[in-house]
Structure 1
């Protein structure tokens, strides 16, 4: 019986993985697709980071990869898991109707270009430990979430102009850098990340979008550990998208206008260092600043890391 349950459990996950507009492939070969990179390709705070600043490979993920959506709509896509007709929401509801209690985490990267969204989904099939960072994040307010949700971005493959701009491994506390909206239900949490909430970020994405068919990008999501008892850091999950074709994006129609909510812009230090890059597009040999030249919204850890790039 346990084997049968395990097979059914894996089947619905496999169905969601394969249900998006672009295929789920191997990390080594995923053109116009998505995959799950090794957690060890990301460096996180080690058990004694607060004293020695030593980082360690990310290791195993806390969540299972569930799916990826490469979609566009007539307006900015948000609160997608509130749509009962969306494929991932339908899969969640079907599992709940079978007596299971999956909990899905969705990270929706809203691109400021023709209303494209790149959405990574991860799932926990077991109860989240009481008092854990994940538990605190789910029960916390937006201020707590904004101060803790961290993104690690690696450009695994891409043109010089993009790799130089982002650096070898860029780290950002999302809520400090970009406008984030959190939508939570009984079996999911969705984070809508408005990359266009900064004028500079918007300009950079428009620039990078011209190279999207040549880019391979790895993104890891985690909740930052800030005290000794919270260390070492653990990755929630990570995803890779590679050489995406804008024309392959699925079309998403919102249920109603109620989801078309405006978001407030806020300063985005994560992107500020790229402004010089935009001003020097005509001189590709001139080095662009790395992220340590931002306005200071990256905390000391990231500044020290970037100085090594």
Structure 2
């Protein structure tokens, strides 16, 4: 992962610099408990931010201040031999002052709607 913090409170910027450096790749699976799931057309990484005290503190601070953060994040898969280089961006995201509570509420509504619409209809 390569984070680029464009706008954030000083505490968030300094935590990101401390944990990953500025615009340098952070090798997440080496520092945090990470479980990988793969399928025919996907790879998923489940990252336990609670497996590191420093990252857990940083994550809590970021969630509290997310509505004031503007950031780019890119994900790559580490190249380990000459045939896997140069590394390329696998995916990227841009986040701008996200209201976490509003996103969570919308997601909960969507999940509730999906669970009610996907259940079979029973006749009385």
Q: Tell me the TM-score normalized by structure 2.
A: 0.71
Q: Give 1:238's aligned residue.
A: 92
Taking the TM superposition and a 5 Å limit, the aligned residue runs for 1:261-280 are none
- 5+ residue gaps, structure 2, are 116-124
Instruction: Using the TM superposition, give the Cα deviation of residue 212 of structure 1 relative to its aligned residue in structure 2, in angstroms.
Output: 0.7
Instruction: Using the TM superposition, give the Cα deviation of residue 213 of structure 1 relative to its aligned residue in structure 2, in angstroms.
Output: 0.4
CA distance in 2, matches of 1:205, 1:187: 29
Residues 12 and 58, structure 2, Cα contact 8 Å, conserved in 1: no
RMSD: 2.0
CA distance in 2, matches of 1:181, 1:216: 28
2:49 is the counterpart of 1:195: yes
Q: Give 1:67's aligned residue.
A: none
Pick aligned residue for 2:81 from 185, 209, 227 = 227
CA distance in 2, matches of 1:183, 1:230: 21
Taking the TM superposition and a 5 Å limit, the aligned residue runs for 1:156-167 are 156-167=6-17
- 5+ residue gaps, structure 1, are 1-150, 256-309
CA distance in 2, matches of 1:161, 1:209: 13
2:5 is the counterpart of 1:155: yes
Instruction: Using the TM superposition, give the Cα deviation of residue 199 of structure 1 relative to its aligned residue in structure 2, in angstroms.
Output: 2.1
Runs (4 or more) in structure 1 with deviation over 4 Å come to: none
CA distance in 2, matches of 1:206, 1:171: 21
Q: Give 1:35's aligned residue.
A: none
Taking the TM superposition and a 5 Å limit, the aligned residue runs for 1:179-194 are 179-194=33-48
- By percentage of residues, which structure has more helix? 2
CA distance in 1, matches of 2:98, 2:3: 17
Residues 15 and 58, structure 2, Cα contact 8 Å, conserved in 1: no
Deviates more, 1:237-246 or 1:196-205: 196-205
Taking the TM superposition and a 5 Å limit, the aligned residue runs for 1:102-117 are none
**Residues paired across the two proteins, number:** 104
2:64 is the counterpart of 1:204: no
Deviations 1:2-28 (A, max 9, x none): xxxxxxxxxxxxxxxxxxxxxxxxxxx
